[in-house]
Amino acid sequence: MQKKLIALALASLSSAAFADATNVTIYGVADATFDVIRVSDNANNTPNFNRVSTNGSHIGFRGTENLGNGLSAIFQFESEANFDQNSSLGLNRDSFVGLTGGFGKVMLGTLTGPSNALAASLDVNTGDNIMSNTAILGKLGGNFVARSVSSGSVYDTRFQNAVAYVSPSFSGLQATGLYVANETKDETPGAETKPSAFDLGLTYTNGPVMVGTTYARLRDSGVADDKETEFRIGGMYDFGMASVRALYGRTKFETASAEVKQNTWGIGGTYNVTANGKLVSQYYVARDVEVNGTDLGETGAKLFTIGYEHNLSKRTMLKAGYARVTNDDNTSGYDFGYNASGFASVGANGFSASGFQFGVRHAF
């Protein structure tokens, strides 16, 4: 009898431990391509080169705890995994803790904003790579706002020190609001910096239709007293065998003496060639920059991509693609949105970069 009781107790403990463990999920993506990059930049004699890229590969841990009465605690720790560079892991992707229930979801940490999420949902490509629409969106040519022109805009990265609320879905309609805390505030006389930021989004999803709009604002009300806003609206229709997508964006940067504006737009589509394979293509344009109502002329850029994705299973994909980003004659501020060539910021006006890639993507 005693042995049976001991065995029963051990089984109970094992079951409890197993139940707790199932609340935590380990997940990730291993995505690598061989890239052939060609750069047009005669002024600086920029070299062409080949490389292996790990296209947004990441590993993460997420979990929930049922707190009762429809309330749950949630958490996620997610890190890039750039295994082509042997770089260390860190919590540089969406990592947060929060609560979820009938009221919606509240999260605190490093978070993707609604503007980034909308653009990503309308990108035709699976994962992050040189074909991403972040090559064009929200950059103002890279000449007017302090940011790396060789990556996505400030709206297309993740916000640190952020708190976000996601509403429940009301018949397909869902709202998101994100606020960035002003941790870097500095009140040094003559050098005050008082940053603040928010990003708001509204999406509607019903069957094959998805539409969304976002509005974000970044402001420094210190000595600089400048403000930048980003408005986006777009949508997608999925026909089953094919899909079409469109996105429009307007970026505006204001100082005490200047107002800088730029419009961007893009269209894309997918077509299922077979049950396991599809063609993907998109075309994005950054229009000329305007300063105080004056068109600067030839200060935009264009992105064209075409690719093919073939599913070997539910988790493993082969893919190949071509991307070309071209700066207009009076700017050199655009490069690939992910895994940039790295020469845009020092390139001659009219700089262009093209790349062909092929590789494997596995999700787990």
Phi/psi of residue 19, each to 5°? -60, -40
CA distance 364 to 248: 33
Per-residue model confidence (pLDDT) at position 4: 45
The rounded average pLDDT for each run of 10 residues, N- to C-terminus, in the chain (364 residues) is: 42 43 84 94 70 94 95 96 81 94 97 97 94 93 54 87 97 97 71 79 98 93 78 98 98 89 97 97 96 92 97 98 94 87 73 94 97
Nearest CA among 228, 226, 222 for reference residue 185: 222
* Model pLDDT, residue 225: 74
Q: What is the CA radius of gyration of the chain?
A: 23
pLDDT score recorded for residue 272: 98
CA dist., res. 169 & res. 176, Å (int): 11
Which of these, 304, 234, 306, 303, lies nearest to 270 by C-alpha position?
Answer: 306
pLDDT at 143: 60
3-class SS of residue 185:
coil
CA 258 to the chain's CA centroid = 29
3-state secondary structure of 218: strand
Supply the pLDDT for residue 230. 96
The neighbour count for residue 118, using CB atoms within 10 Å, is 26
DSSP 89: P
Is residue 129 within 8 Å of residue 55, measured between CB atoms?
yes
- pLDDT at position 347: 60
* Structural domains present in the chain: 28-363 (2.40.160.10)
Q: What is the pLDDT of residue 212?
A: 98
Q: Which amino acid is at 195?
A: P
Q: What is the pLDDT of residue 256?
A: 80
pTM of the entire structure?
A: 0.89
